[in-house]
């Protein structure tokens, strides 16, 4: 970070915070160096992963109005990596990266050399696929960078304390409920007390604004600041990604960047030392950042309808009643919850977030061919309604599925099979509930059944499809292309004529890989197929019975 203006200003700020009861210890000296300077020029940098080709891109001119013009490619092959700018993990004075390989579940340190390159990466072991979110901060104020994590199907925060040499302790659980946290963001030392702070984003419970909360660190204890606040004063403004950049202009405020989930705009903002006052909002780039991954761990809650950290199921009855089957942390289904009625529907499908509000939605097709979006609401029971009309004439489609990003622009898309021709059409999502101009991504799809958007099964950054071929009753994996469309199908198992439904469930067993469920026609038994991270499955087992008579959405 840049040198603070005067010690008197910092002391006055801390005196105000201490008077308010926020801190009980005097300020420690601040490190004037930028935390994430990868090129050694004394200026804070930003890295991001480009989804279309997996390039790790460096942005080194963050003080300019449009720092995208200064972008250079570090290296390629980062499609399957979650990356965090970590500061100096190894104690050699250079900024490093922390990155998780989502296919293997291995966490690595990439040690920076101070000249825009990295040395040989060091592994922190496997098993990190069960971690949902991670970031870095000097949580206990000892001068060594620590790793903060949340875990899937868990509600706690964990800290792996750094030793200053690139190694870390075993995780230690902290107090507090983090089940509704879907972003964990290292913030640096916001309050100038010598210890790092962090920020969380809480999952929205309705279509309103996203709530953020700063946690000030005070000798190893995470102290949340009051209630939630918003990064944007307008109602219903949502950001898919947020990253802190440090004090870029030396005014003792901390800058951050945020990506608008609908427009793909990149905004730069300033946050005060008090942690809940965001101002000086400026547009850095007006589009395209949905196609980039900022340095933070991404979480997929496409099938977490309650937004509490577990995958749920929806099903509707022959009379159109829609029911939520919520799952607890123990993996069992809780009693089903009535969500509403679609008595005139001939199709209901879970769709992911089509409206850009951070909540998973549904597609509802009426018998007259009108296709609607039913917007998700994680907090309200019995109010599922047809909120937005997509269009008419959709009875011409014999399959309509959604729930994934096929063109890597950061928005969920829709696939539909045309009954008369067998063509498979991609309708790109806009993040607003509307669809862009459709393109053909496959032919001959009348030969397929049980077409399902399963998520990113092979960890290459694009959504994938699984479908059963009617001629041989085998299941095929169709990998998504990061530039749009589908690859050729790969056989991943036969004998699927005994199944009459396949449903997407996300990472159901919390191992870091996307799974799916299938229902056996003979008795209604529901089976979980555990994804192996490479497009297939590693094992399967029964997770329920009596599911015949229900249509799984």
Structure confidence by residue, pLDDT tens digits, 172-207: 998 888 988 999 999 998 888 888 999 999 887 665
Is residue 376 very low, low, confident or very high in pLDDT (cuts 50, 70, 90)? confident
Is residue 25 very low, low, confident or very high in pLDDT (cuts 50, 70, 90)? very low
- What would the mean pLDDT of 117-136 be, rounded to a whole number? 95
- In this predicted structure, the answer to whether residue 219 has a pLDDT above a threshold of 60 is no
For the domain bounded by 312-552, which CATH number is listed?
2.120.10
Positive or negative, the Cα torsion across 38, 41, 42, 43? negative
Q: Residue 395 phi/psi, 5° resolution?
A: -70, -10
**How, if at all, do strands 55-59 and 46-50 pair?**
antiparallel
Helix ranges restricted to H, 437-532 = none
Res 222: pLDDT: 53
Is residue 359 very low, low, confident or very high in pLDDT (cuts 50, 70, 90)? confident
Q: Residue 59 phi/psi, 5° resolution?
A: -115, 115
Q: Name beta bridge partners: 254.
A: 271
**How, if at all, do strands 211-218 and 197-202 pair?**
antiparallel
Res 383: pLDDT: 63
Q: Does residue 255 sit in helix, strand or coil?
A: strand
How far is it, in rounded angstroms, from Cα 421 to Cα 407? 23
**Neighbouring C-beta atoms of residue 407, cutoff 10 Å:** 24
10 Å CB burial of residue 351 (0-12, 13-18, 19+) is: buried
**Neighbouring C-beta atoms of residue 227, cutoff 10 Å:** 8
Is residue 277 very low, low, confident or very high in pLDDT (cuts 50, 70, 90)? confident
Per residue in 222-244, pLDDT (tens digit) is 555 556 788 887 667 889 999 99
Per residue in 45-90, pLDDT (tens digit) is 999 999 999 999 999 878 776 776 668 998 899 999 999 999 999 9
Q: Check: CB of residue 83 under 8 Å from CB of residue 292.
A: no
DSSP codes of every residue in 366-415:
ETTS-EEEE---TT-SS-----EEEES-GGGEEEEEEEE-SSSSSS-EEE
Task: Give 534's Cβ-side CA count (13 Å radius).
Answer: 6
Res 235: pLDDT: 63
Cα dihedral: 441, 444, 445, 449 (round 10): -160
How far is it, in rounded angstroms, from Cα 37 to Cα 104? 29
**How, if at all, do strands 413-418 and 197-202 pair?**
unpaired
**Domain-by-domain residue ranges, the chain?**
312-552
- What would the mean pLDDT of 381-392 be, rounded to a whole number? 81
For residue 62, what are its two tokens?
């963050």
Is residue 422 very low, low, confident or very high in pLDDT (cuts 50, 70, 90)? very high
Q: Check: CB of residue 473 under 8 Å from CB of residue 497.
A: yes
How far is it, in rounded angstroms, from Cα 20 to Cα 22? 6
For residue 174, what are its two tokens?
């902290």
């Amino acid at each position: 970070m840049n040198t603070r203006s005067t010690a008197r200003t910092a002391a006055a700020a801390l005196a105000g915070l201490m008077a308010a009861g926020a801190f009980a210890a005097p300020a420690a000296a601040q490190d004037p160096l930028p935390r994430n300077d990868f090129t050694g020029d004394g200026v804070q940098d930003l890295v991001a992963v480009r989804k279309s080709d997996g390039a790790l891109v460096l942005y080194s001119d963050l003080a300019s109005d449009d720092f995208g013009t200064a972008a250079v490619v570090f290296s390629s092959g980062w499609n399957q990596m979650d990356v965090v700018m970590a500061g100096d993990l190894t104690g050699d004075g250079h900024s490093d990266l922390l990155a998780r390989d989502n296919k293997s579940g291995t966490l690595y340190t990439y040690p920076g050399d101070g000249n825009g390159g990295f040395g040989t990466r060091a592994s922190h072991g496997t098993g990190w696929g069960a971690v949902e979110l991670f970031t870095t901060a000097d949580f206990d104020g000892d001068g060594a960078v620590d790793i903060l994590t949340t875990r899937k199907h868990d509600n706690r925060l964990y800290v792996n304390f750094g030793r200053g040499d690139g190694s870390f302790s075993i995780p230690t659980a902290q107090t507090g409920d983090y089940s509704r946290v879907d972003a964990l963001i290292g913030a640096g030392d916001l309050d100038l007390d010598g210890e790092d702070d962090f920020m969380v984003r809480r999952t929205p419970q309705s279509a309103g604004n996203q709530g953020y909360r700063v946690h000030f660190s005070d000798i190893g204890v995470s102290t949340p600041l009051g209630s939630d606040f918003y990064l944007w004063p307008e109602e219903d403004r949502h950001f898919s990604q947020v990253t802190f950049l440090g004090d870029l202009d030396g005014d003792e405020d901390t800058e951050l960047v945020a990506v608008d989930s609908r427009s793909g705009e990149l905004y730069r903002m300033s946050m005060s030392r008090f942690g809940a006052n965001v101002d000086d909002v400026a547009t850095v780039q007006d589009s395209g950042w949905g196609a980039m991954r900022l340095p933070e761990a991404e979480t997929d809650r496409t099938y977490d309808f309650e937004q509490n950290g577990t995958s749920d199921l929806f099903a509707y009855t022959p009379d159109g009643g829609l029911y939520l089957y919520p799952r607890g942390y123990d993996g069992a289904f809780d009693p089903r919850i009535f969500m509403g009625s679609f008595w005139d529907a001939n199709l209901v499908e879970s769709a992911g977030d089509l409206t850009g509000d951070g909540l998973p939605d549904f597609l509802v097709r009426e018998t007259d061919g009108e296709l609607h979006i039913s917007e998700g609401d994680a907090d309200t029971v019995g109010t599922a309604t047809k909120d937005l009309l997509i269009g008419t004439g959709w009875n011409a489609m014999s399959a309509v599925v959604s729930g994934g990003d096929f063109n890597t622009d950061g928005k969920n898309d829709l696939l539909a099979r045309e009954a008369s021709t067998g063509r498979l059409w991609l309708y790109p999502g806009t993040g607003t509930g509307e669809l862009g101009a459709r393109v053909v991504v496959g032919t001959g799809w009348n030969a397929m059944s049980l077409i399902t958007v399963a998520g990113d099964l092979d960890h290459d950054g694009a959504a994938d499809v699984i479908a059963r071929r009617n001629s041989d009753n085998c299941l095929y994996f169709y990998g998504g292309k990061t530039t749009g469309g589908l690859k050729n199908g790969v056989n991943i198992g036969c004998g699927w004529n005994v199944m009459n439904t396949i449903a997407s469930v996300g990472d159901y067993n919390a191992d870091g890989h996307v799974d799916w469920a299938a229902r056996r026609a003979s008795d209604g038994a529901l089976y979980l197929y555990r994804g192996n991270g490479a497009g297939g499955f590693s094992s399967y087992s029964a997770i329920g019975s009596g599911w015949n008579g229900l249509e799984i959405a």
